[in-house]
A = this chain, B = another copy of it.
Amino acid sequence: MEQMDKNGRLKHLLTLDGLSQSCLNKLLLQADQFIDEHQRLRHTDDLKDKTVVNVFFEASTRTRTTFEIAAKRLSADVISVNVATAATAKGESLRDTILNLQAMQADLFVCRHSDSGAAHFIAQQVKPGVAVINAGDGCHAHPTQALLDLYTIRRIKKEFSNLTIAIVGDILHSRVARSEIMALKTMGVKQIRLIAPKTLLPPYIEQTGVRCYTKMEEGLQNADVIIMLRLQKERMEEGLLPSLREYHRCYGLTLDRLSLAKKDVIVMHPGPMDRGVEIDSVVADGPHSVILQQVHFGIAVRMAVMVELTAGK
């Protein structure tokens, strides 16, 4: 598999699909190193003298900021290139853009692109010793987001094999959900449930062993973890959903619905939240919510990935 080298070491992080449990565990353990005893993120010299280039072909201030902070906490030089408004405007190809930045001595690319497979393509262009992290490509994958979810679950619930995890929302179009489902299965989660209107569930997905629910009240029963997805308003326009109000009525996470889950259930959301649509504020800000911890752990996880991909190079 192209993101691993001959010795089974990670060269790039393009997707979590196909990564072994031991590989995922290694990354999760490394992330622990970047959180100190006061629960603060450490500042280290691991990437001193290295250059991290954020190449965003699609605007995403939030994701870019998380990688920028992670790289700076590792003492890397960080360059952000917003290609949407830059070189491609002069007609340069994606490949030429990457090869030029590589020639400027980039050690690590963090890429976001609206096309599925763009990160794989970029990884094929770079020379040995240069690493690529997929920060989201089309509807395909967003592996660090899925990885930080794994990390959050493991940090709070300790292990995976007893867990019932419900994922709620637009699974069909979610970059996060796809990577996530594969990885949760790899980690040995007892049961994965997908809760969504039929129009937002991928066809044949049940063949992978997950369970699908169209009624939220059924899917949340005794869940240990609830992962809410962001609802993209474009889905309304495409006719896949009747209205935000209707969506909230059927799939919004309210206190009442939360009470159907286990007493120590945790609630996750990749952000940004649409309060009052997919989740009520009283839940988002309540004691079961670990949404801001996800953000915090997300920096540690990205630091771990960056160190893993550049160590010894």
A87 an interface residue at 8 Å Cβ cutoff?
Answer: yes
A296 an interface residue at 8 Å Cβ cutoff?
Answer: yes
A101 an interface residue at 8 Å Cβ cutoff?
Answer: yes
Question: Which partner residue on chain B sits nearest A101 by CB separation?
Answer: B65
Question: Which partner residue on chain B sits nearest A90 by CB separation?
Answer: B272
| Copies, count | 3
Interface set, chain A 286-313, CB cutoff 8 A to B: 292-293, 295-296, 298-299
Q: How far is the CA of A27 from the CA of B51 in the complex (A)?
A: 24
Contact status A271-B100, CB under 8 Å: yes
Interface size on A, residues (CB 8 A): 46
Contact status A292-B103, CB under 8 Å: yes
Question: Which residues of the other chain, B, contact A96 by a CB distance below 8 angstroms?
Answer: 271-273, 275
Q: How far is the CA of A49 from the CA of B42 in the complex (A)?
A: 8
Which residue of B43, B59, B81 is within 8 Å of A61 (Cβ)? B81
A82 an interface residue at 8 Å Cβ cutoff?
Answer: yes
* Given contacts A77-B73, A100-B295, A272 and B87 within 8 Å (CB-CB): yes
A218 an interface residue at 8 Å Cβ cutoff?
Answer: no
Contact status B299-A105, CB under 8 Å: yes
**Nearest CB on B from A274, distance (A):** 6
Question: Which residues of the other chain, B, contact A6 by a CB distance below 8 angstroms?
Answer: none
14 additional A-B pairs beyond A51-B69, A69-B104, A103-B296, beta carbons within 8 Å, are A61-B81, A61-B85, A62-B86, A65-B101, A69-B79, A72-B77, A73-B77, A73-B105, A93-B275, A100-B292, A100-B295, A104-B295, A104-B296, A104-B298
